[in-house]
Amino acid sequence: MEPTAIIRHLVGCFRTVRGVATPACASHAAGFRAPVRRTLHGPAGVALAVLLLTPAARANELAGAPGAADAGFVIHGAAETLRDYCATDENGVTWLTLPGGARYELITSTSDPAIANPGDGAFHSYDVAEIQAALAAVRFPLQGITARIFVLPYPRRSGLESAAGPGLVLLSPGVRPLTPEHQHAEFTHELGHVVQYQRLPDRDVRGWEAYRRLRGIGDATVYNAAARHADRPHEIFAEDFRALFGGGLANTTGTIENPDLPAPAQVPGLADFMRGLAEAPLALALAATPNPARGALTFSRPGAVAVPLDLFDLAGRRFVSLAPRLVPGGVQWGWDRRDAAGARVSAGVVFARPRDGGAPLRVTLLP
């Protein structure tokens, strides 16, 4: 995801958080200098999203989701995340390293200058039981949907807020205890992003045209990825998902982030359209041959959507873009293992991602 920020709507001493009105001084992000949330669907999310390329293991995920035998969700609780995915270096800095190599510095103290309001002096993580309850309450067919859910013990310095990407959810803690309503609303919204990436990817032009038409957001000069957060189509979809398919605790006020749009339940055909996405084929997978590779390799994907393929390093930096070519049965991209400057890329892990927002692929380069 190009990093996107959600600015909460403040009304007096209260603000709306995914349809849940909470006192600003006690809210999840109240102590953060930038009380925002991000969606992972660009360079910053490439390394994270690779986690979900293997079945049932991006954060905010559960194994064996209730009522969805074919869904693959794995939830990593805060203690597990701290124990298995975090380490403190010689300088006393704690780092979160996710499977696939994405690495983030964590803020371990509410007295850190990055935290504008220390709240009660501690970080309060999401409760795994509440996440499970929120998932169980979802009234959307989740068969075939996979995601990993990481409950963070501390916020990331590069992004204090919760985040989601293809098959991945990172749930950031608050500076005061999080209410069940907040946890259900936030998680269900993030789950909406996961569903959208897998069932209505950006390259599904016709699907998006139909959704925009139903939702009344066809004006791309107003509703686009660079617009204010509430006008971004991905965010509107995630809010529609929460409002239409989330449980009662995820919808205690019956509102959505964008007050200028009609309530999802009032849009004729919207619920049926979104429910129908469960019958759509999952996003076509990208493949690399060979992988691991010592020299040149070829990327391929079924379908006829020919877009550039971007390659990123572990830090999420794009170092080369490949031109597509149509072949019988799909699209291919050839790579000679050189970066944009012509230098050979050294051994290690890189990620490949189609420009249309498809899921990234992890590639291992051998010496």
Q: What is d(CA 251, CA 248) in angstroms, rounded to the nearest whole number?
A: 5
Closest CA to 35 of 49, 48, 23: 23
pTM of the model: 0.67
pLDDT (0 to 100) of residue 214: 97
pLDDT (0 to 100) of residue 317: 86
pLDDT (0 to 100) of residue 147: 87
Q: Which residues contact 155 (CB under 8 A, 6 or more apart)?
A: 32, 106, 107, 123, 161, 172, 173
pLDDT (0 to 100) of residue 168: 85
As beta bridge partners, residue 288 has 299
Token code pair at residue 81 = 């995340």
Q: What is d(CA 110, CA 94) in angstroms, rounded to the nearest whole number?
A: 14
User: Would you say 55 and 63 are in contact if contact means Cβ atoms under 8 Å apart?
Assistant: no
User: What are the Cα distances from residue 107, in Å, to 122, 168, 220, 236?
Assistant: 11, 21, 37, 30
User: Would you say 173 and 7 are in contact if contact means Cβ atoms under 8 Å apart?
Assistant: no
CATH architecture of the region 287-365: Sandwich (2.60)
Q: Average pLDDT for consecutive 10-residue bins of the chain (367 residues)?
A: 29 32 34 42 42 30 30 88 96 89 92 96 97 95 88 95 88 97 97 93 92 97 96 97 97 95 97 91 79 94 80 88 87 95 95 79 93
pLDDT (0 to 100) of residue 35: 30
Domain parsing of the chain, residue ranges: 9-279, 287-365
User: Would you say 35 and 271 are in contact if contact means Cβ atoms under 8 Å apart?
Assistant: no
pLDDT (0 to 100) of residue 354: 87
pLDDT (0 to 100) of residue 24: 30
Token code pair at residue 226 = 């660079």
